Structure 1
């Protein structure tokens, strides 16, 4: 599910459907993007499943050559070129001390697809990015034993505050100066979540809104029920 609400995530002039939940699923987001493309006639200008082999700038135009899904070569020219390759397909992960002798499996989040793969396993999720926390929640109810390792403390923001999505609530208070927002919002989180060090989490070393927050309180639910345990940073790996 999205970590931003349907209210704040739709394109200008093309809001997400009213019957969508506050936080749409990945399938609903996909359907929304398709409907946007169809509504504005974009599909006729898009070539899918296409490999770009060569790009050249010549006499004020971009010359683009490539190969389509059927292996046929094509050549296009355009005044504009936007390269938005992203980084989602390339793993970025540290090498941990002792990893060469580790007998367990090391899996990057980009290769994680199915909670069933965690069934019967001892799972340690490293890091509290939003993807990591989501996977940790899967591990909490699927794995035999589940742990999450953090190097630092984070602020955990509920997806709903006073019954409204957190980003909608934030947008209504964006008139506040940042220091006042940090004071008010920080106090609100302490009131809602309490002292998270009681769950084994580290105390945040930064003020709320000064770093990307974790928009997930499901992880707190599992920590409070003992379905997952918080651990500090990893020093080294040894055996299994």
Structure 2
């Protein structure tokens, strides 16, 4: 009983004093007893599912009109998982057994939708978080949102889980002459198939997995693709010795140091793919696993693009110097005509645009300042999931840690404490 009296006299007073003068405006404030999760992609869904399995409810806010919006709205049709499905499943629910080793885009989206249904997760769609700030005056987070057809809202909660991920916004490079080029310039987020580029000369900028695969797709639609390779890149076969290269690497790392596994991967790649430098794809000085560990740069897993480069169906060019009306001038002074340009220049985090906190997340790149595996927890109930640069495996690990940590705090609060606080909030125009 004394605990409830303390609540009403302290927490309740703090809420009343801090928000009483702000109730006159049109913002609707909503008290959320559990965490607010920003983002309904794989990371947000995984965190919500792990929390729910531990008895903690959460609220998921999503700016798009669907779950896994990057996959549903911003990926090309031929996309498949580059890693075997066992390395890409989310916590507590494996992929259907009938799915192939490398599920298609459509199958992965179906898995995500099934995952949300299985755990009865219902994100609030078409809701963009414009700011999230920890209010020291009341000791809670204030998450402000705008949505389609609804008034501005402010969610008040004890915990915020940032799940907007590494790929929230497209990276659009500044290339001299972009306004002068007469053909279409599109980011891969707008690319679906090569059908519209049939018979056209297309320059793909970016030699990661997306750029390589878009070139291959363009070949299948009788386009004439060229690929800009500005930096060194590791290209590995998708499978070695009858196993996925990723799975084999993971197994070898249990027994051998990373430098030795890198040497093995490069030896096998040389035997299977030949000398990629002769094709214009120079390898970095660091091995593929060491490079991934230190910079987060993922090696390309070849699914047939190298053969098209070797046969001349895909041409390789260095960095771009400038664009002209119908042509592109490259850093080696070559000038070639093109009908269209596709930017496979990747994505970036958008966290610095809305999170009013700079100790945990870097303002420079929007990633947690602490490297994996320590970048999942900040201060004052702030968490991050999906920023490990280790794909869905990293997402699963972070989700489990976050759920366990919040559960301890959730259970430390007596059950009769939460309803009392909510009742007080509702009495001051908070809505459930």
- TM-score when normalising by structure 1: 0.85
Aligned equivalents of 1:74, 1:34: Cα separation in 2: 27
Query: Higher relative contact order at CA 8 Å, sep ≥6: structure 1 or structure 2?
Result: 2
- CA, structure 1 residues 111+88, in 2 after alignment: closer, same or farther (shift >3 Å)? farther
The reply on whether 1:187 has 2:267 as its aligned counterpart is yes
1:50 counterpart residue number: 127
Aligned equivalents of 1:72, 1:97: Cα separation in 2: 42
Q: Offset at 1:53?
A: 5.2
The reply on whether 1:101 has 2:180 as its aligned counterpart is yes
- CA, structure 1 residues 174+98, in 2 after alignment: closer, same or farther (shift >3 Å)? same
- CA, structure 1 residues 104+79, in 2 after alignment: closer, same or farther (shift >3 Å)? same
Q: Which has the higher strand share?
A: 2
The reply on whether 1:208 has 2:288 as its aligned counterpart is yes
Tell me, yes or no, if the aligned pair for 1:120 and 1:143 is still in contact at 8 Å. Answer: yes
Q: Offset at 1:55?
A: 4.5
Tell me, yes or no, if the aligned pair for 1:122 and 1:143 is still in contact at 8 Å. Answer: no
Tell me, yes or no, if the aligned pair for 1:7 and 1:168 is still in contact at 8 Å. Answer: no
Tell me, yes or no, if the aligned pair for 2:229 and 2:318 is still in contact at 8 Å. Answer: yes
Q: Offset at 1:113?
A: 2.5
SS at match of 1:82: strand
SS at match of 1:147: strand
Q: Which runs of 5+ in 1 are unaligned?
A: none
The alignment's C-alpha RMSD in Å is: 2.4
- CA, structure 1 residues 50+100, in 2 after alignment: closer, same or farther (shift >3 Å)? closer
2:194 counterpart residue number: 115
1:171 counterpart residue number: 250
- CA, structure 1 residues 60+156, in 2 after alignment: closer, same or farther (shift >3 Å)? same
- CA, structure 1 residues 126+7, in 2 after alignment: closer, same or farther (shift >3 Å)? same
1:67-118: per-residue Cα shift (whole Å, max 9, x none)?
5554256554321112333464533233233434333332222222332222
Superposition map of 1:52-91 within 5 A: 52=129, 55=132, 57=135, 59-67=138-146, 69-71=148-150, 74=153, 76-86=155-165, 88=167, 90-91=169-170
When the two structures are aligned, how many residues end up with a matched partner?
Answer: 237
The reply on whether 1:32 has 2:100 as its aligned counterpart is no
Q: Offset at 1:191?
A: 0.7
2:311 counterpart residue number: 225
2:233 counterpart residue number: 154
Deviating beyond 6 angstroms after TM superposition, the runs of 4 or more aligned structure 1 residues are none
- TM-score when normalising by structure 2: 0.50
Structure 2 residue aligned with 1:238, among 288, 307, 324?
324
SS at match of 2:320: coil
Tell me, yes or no, if the aligned pair for 1:153 and 1:201 is still in contact at 8 Å. Answer: no
Q: Which runs of 5+ in 2 are unaligned?
A: 1-79, 292-297, 327-432
